[in-house]
């Protein structure tokens, strides 16, 4: 039946969203920032919320695809309606997520850079080995070296925390590297959200068509049957 390739596409889309959510949550760059962020910083909340939203969305899409396939095989209007409900639920979650991404385009970026600024100033003001170790890990993950500071006394910090072989004058600014890295990642997330919205709309249309097809074919099947008395 034609709906099976579509169901496979929806399952692949759900798996893609789950994979992206897992990479975002457990990826080295994101976990380093999340582990050192303060409670007052919004990044940790965004970090966890994005993961749970992505997992729920992927499960909803996969469930919708399975229900649509089962509805096609069994010609069940109930299963078709449940599949439509799952697609509609995913759509209602995707639209606010896309709007949030559009209206809060710099919130994640600003929160990540605030975390780095806090870490950097902590190391600059004191000699805490724990903070210095965390800042070194961030420098190694983002392959950057310090930041441009108006204080002009950052060379000592960068000599202790930058990856070996990087010179202060030639090292890449970490704030710029964080911004560039996150921009690429968020562009990919936004593209996947757009694809998911298009597929959920297509899924709602497909399940609606399937429901009406089953309904009318069932009525046609009963037509012409008479009971002779």
Cα 154 to Cα 120: distance, rounded to the nearest angstrom: 9
Cα 143 to Cα 154: distance, rounded to the nearest angstrom: 17
Lowest mean pLDDT of 18-27, 61-70, 164-173, 206-215, name the range.
Answer: 164-173
Cα 188 to Cα 181: distance, rounded to the nearest angstrom: 11
Task: Kindly report the number of other CB atoms within 10 A of residue 16's CB atom.
Answer: 15
Q: What is the pLDDT of residue 228?
A: 44
Nearest C-alpha neighbor of 97 from the set 43, 41, 54: 54
16-30 mean pLDDT: 93
Lowest mean pLDDT of 20-24, 113-117, 195-199, 209-213, name the range.
Answer: 209-213
Q: What is the pLDDT of residue 101?
A: 82
132-150 mean pLDDT: 84
What does the longest C-alpha to C-alpha distance in the chain come to? 103
Mean pLDDT of the chain: 83
pLDDT band at 3 (very low <50, low <70, confident <90, very high): low
Q: What is the pLDDT of residue 28?
A: 92
The tens digit of pLDDT for each residue in 52-98 reads 999 999 999 999 999 988 888 887 888 889 999 999 999 999 999 98
End-to-end CA, the chain: 40
Asked whether residue 132 carries a pLDDT value surpassing 50, the answer given is: yes
Task: Kindly report the number of other CB atoms within 10 A of residue 41's CB atom.
Answer: 18
CA dihedral 153, 158, 160, 166 (to 10 degrees): -140
* Predicted TM-score (pTM) of this structure: 0.82
Cα 89 to Cα 186: distance, rounded to the nearest angstrom: 23
């Amino acid at each position: 039946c034609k709906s099976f390739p579509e169901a496979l596409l929806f399952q692949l889309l759900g798996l893609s969203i789950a994979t992206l959510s897992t990479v975002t949550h457990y990826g080295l760059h994101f976990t380093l920032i999340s582990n050192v962020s303060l409670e007052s910083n919004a990044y940790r909340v965004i970090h966890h919320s994005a993961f749970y939203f992505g997992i729920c969305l992927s499960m909803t899409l996969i469930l919708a695809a399975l229900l649509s396939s089962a509805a096609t095989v069994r010609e069940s209007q109930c299963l078709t309606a449940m599949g439509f409900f799952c697609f509609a639920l995913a759509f209602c979650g995707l639209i606010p997520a896309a709007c949030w991404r559009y209206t809060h385009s710099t919130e994640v970026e600003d929160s990540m850079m605030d975390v780095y600024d806090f870490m950097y100033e902590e190391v600059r003001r004191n000699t805490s080995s724990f903070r210095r170790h965390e800042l070194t890990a961030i420098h190694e993950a983002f392959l950057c070296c310090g930041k441009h500071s108006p204080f002009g006394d950052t060379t000592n910090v960068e000599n202790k925390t930058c990856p070996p072989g990087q010179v202060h004058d030639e090292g890449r600014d970490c704030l710029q590297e964080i911004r560039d890295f996150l921009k690429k990642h968020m562009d990919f997330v936004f593209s996947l959200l757009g694809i998911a919205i298009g597929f959920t709309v297509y899924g709602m249309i497909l399940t609606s068509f399937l429901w009406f097809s089953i309904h009318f074919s069932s009525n046609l099947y009963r037509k012409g049957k008479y009971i002779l008395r």
